[in-house]
Amino acid sequence: MDSQVTYMELSEGREHKFYEVTVAGAVLTIRYGRIGTEGQSKTITAAAPAEATREATKKLAEKRRKGYADAVPGQTARKAVEKPRVRLHRTLEPYRAQIEATLKPVMFLTLHDSQPGPMGSMVGGTPYRRQGESWPAAPDGTPMTFLAQLNFAELPKLLGFPTSGLLQFFIGTNDLYGCDFMRPGRANPAVYEVRWIPQPVTDLFLLDDTTPDHAGEYSPLPAGRGMGITGELAEHPMSDRDRLFTQAIGIDFLDEGSSPDEDLSKGEWLEERYDEATLFGHQVGGHPTFTQEDPRLPDDPRVLLFQLDSDWQRGVMWGDSGIANFFIHPADLARGDFSRVAYNWDCC
């Protein structure tokens, strides 16, 4: 029995696929997939050859409307699957270009129960401190809480950030964790301190391993233990809480139209899908996120230096499931000047 075969391809942008229809009497066979693969196939048996031909003509017309064109099998080279830079729900695909334009390098951090030595990257615990060096204190003399230490020599190399040296963060022990909410987003080293040690000594006999007693004082960290840090490099899209989000991406989260979820408006639905695509947490660099709002004004050039999220599993808690951010001016970061770092945290 003679058969009629029509083979078409679509190869543009991320699309690189074929569609083949074979009609043999009343049997219609459709094969489809990525060019260079066998793909998959399905067979339809019609009541009569004419019906199979009509169905084939209909399906081929649909594919041509979508941009498929007649081709010869084997002439188009196989192309590797192009992995999208960010995974998006299909309802966000119209905004892909704007979202990808905001992608920034980021180092996501994971906390571990193991306590590193004084040179290690850690949250809580006993940081690097030379003998005779003072412990950071508030104006009234109260010792600050050691929050975190980053050893850039052992962490993955993040573009634009140091490749060696220790960066330490200390915060106040009052009920605001040393944050000055009267001056949101502004540097105020009187209530917190960021220390930069570009060339730490490696002789442990030169270090002081004592820490102040913070019993009865406020802290977002679990008492009496530290946690090690490891990092992983990635790309990070802008948070929907960023002060520049509407200008940069323009998704209308106030749209009152209908959505696939009858309990949500279109805007609420899109916001949930966007939150799924924009992971955040403990990180160095990338875009900051907030439970309330961005403390920076639209023309503020400062970028995220370090972010520590609430972490139920590790006992880290900023108020009611909040998040803390440390910001730095790009010029200060480039020259290794951490004297004007700004600190902010907020919660639900």
* pTM of this structure: 0.76
Whether residue 229 is found in the same domain as residue 146: yes
Whether residue 238 is found in the same domain as residue 301: yes
Whether residue 309 is found in the same domain as residue 230: yes
Whether residue 288 is found in the same domain as residue 140: yes
**223: nearest Cα among 231, 215, 212:** 215
Looking at the domain assignment, is residue 188 inside a domain?
yes
Looking at the domain assignment, is residue 85 inside a domain?
no
Q: Which residues contact 85 (CB under 8 A, 6 or more apart)?
A: 100, 103, 235
Neighbours of 49 (CB within 10 A): 15
Distance CA 34, CA 32 (A): 7
Would the pLDDT of 293 be above 60? yes
Looking at the domain assignment, is residue 80 inside a domain?
no
Q: What is the mean pLDDT of the chain?
A: 91
Phi, psi values for residue 101, rounded to 5°: -65, -20
**Per-residue CA distances from 256 to 120, 239, 252, 253 (Å):** 50, 22, 9, 9
pLDDT, tens only, 238-277: 999 999 999 999 898 888 888 888 888 989 989 999 998 8
Whether residue 45 is found in the same domain as residue 174: no
Whether residue 37 is found in the same domain as residue 121: no
Pair 71, 36: CB distance under 8 Å: no
pLDDT, tens only, 177-230: 998 877 655 666 668 999 999 999 999 999 999 998 865 579 999 988 899 999
**What range defines the domain where residue 54 resides?**
4-70
Phi, psi values for residue 240, rounded to 5°: -75, -5
Local structure of residue 347 (DSSP, 8 states): -
Half-sphere exposure of 303 (CA within 13 A, CB side): 18
**Per-residue CA distances from 342 to 39, 52, 142, 185, 330 (Å):** 55, 70, 21, 6, 13
Whether residue 65 is found in the same domain as residue 180: no
Whether residue 65 is found in the same domain as residue 103: no
pLDDT at 191: 84
